[in-house]
Amino acid sequence: RSWFLDKVIITSIKDAKAYYFLCGKWLDKGEDDGRIERDLVPADEDGVACKPIVRYTLTVKTADVRGAGTNAKVFCELFGEDGSSGERILENAQDNFERAKTDVFKFDCVDLGPINRLRIGHDNSGFGSGWMLQRVEVDDSRRAEKLYFVCNQWLDTSEGDKQIVRELAPASSADAEASASPMQAYRITTYTSDISGAGTDAGVWIVLMGEDGATRQLPRSEEHTSELQSPNAS
């Protein structure tokens, strides 16, 4: 039931005068501002109601680590110099966002201009909703260019910084390739001193940093030895 109205032209039978009602918007509860009716003001001359419609292709890569996949509802929003796509649900007929899986989604909207950021997240629904996103690739059909948005972080209320929505800026192709580095397992063992008062009930975390990047935060658990997987931090 979606409808993208370009314009309405009304011509007077009496004097052949034309009135131009430019719209250039969706009338759809799931697009733009969600409205399905609009008030239009007449103009004396015809014009361009909206910018060209562009097809954007999003290639979403889920990381290859234990528990990386999610069954939550994933959404994204593209931002360009001339506006945003609005929030779009990413879904197709496939079993999306499984560990080490690549999913492809397409949608059309008015030309956003050069893309400068991407917002992506999920609704935290379902069992094991946490998701580790590796990166998103965006193809702009109008400009015939590919943009890379590298994440390599958890979108999970119990991992890292506990955020389930992230805003990403475009990365270079070299950074995008580096994001595909093999995952390396690390075992971290912490030793608390035996001096008086050495223990703590505070939330303890650690981040490993190397020449090629950094790990996610490792939260404190009841065990003194923990394991994590991350891109090889050398």
- pLDDT of 152-164, one tens digit each? 999 999 888 899 9
Q: What would the pLDDT profile of 23-71 be if each residue is shown by its tens digit?
A: 888 888 877 778 899 999 998 889 888 778 899 999 999 999 889 999 9
Exposed (0-12), middle (13-18) or buried (19+): which is 22, by Cβ within 10 Å? buried
Q: Which of 70-74, 130-134, 209-213 has the lowest mean pLDDT?
A: 209-213
Distance CA 152, CA 198 (A): 34
Question: Does residue 221 surpass a pLDDT of 60?
Answer: no
Q: What DSSP line would sit under 153-191, residue for residue?
A: EEE-TTSTT--SEEEE--B-HHHHHHTTPPEEEEEEE--
* Sequence-ordered strand ranges (E) for 64-158: 74-80, 83-84, 88-89, 102-110, 115-122, 131-140, 145-155
pLDDT (0 to 100) of residue 78: 96
CB atoms within 10 A of CB 60: 23
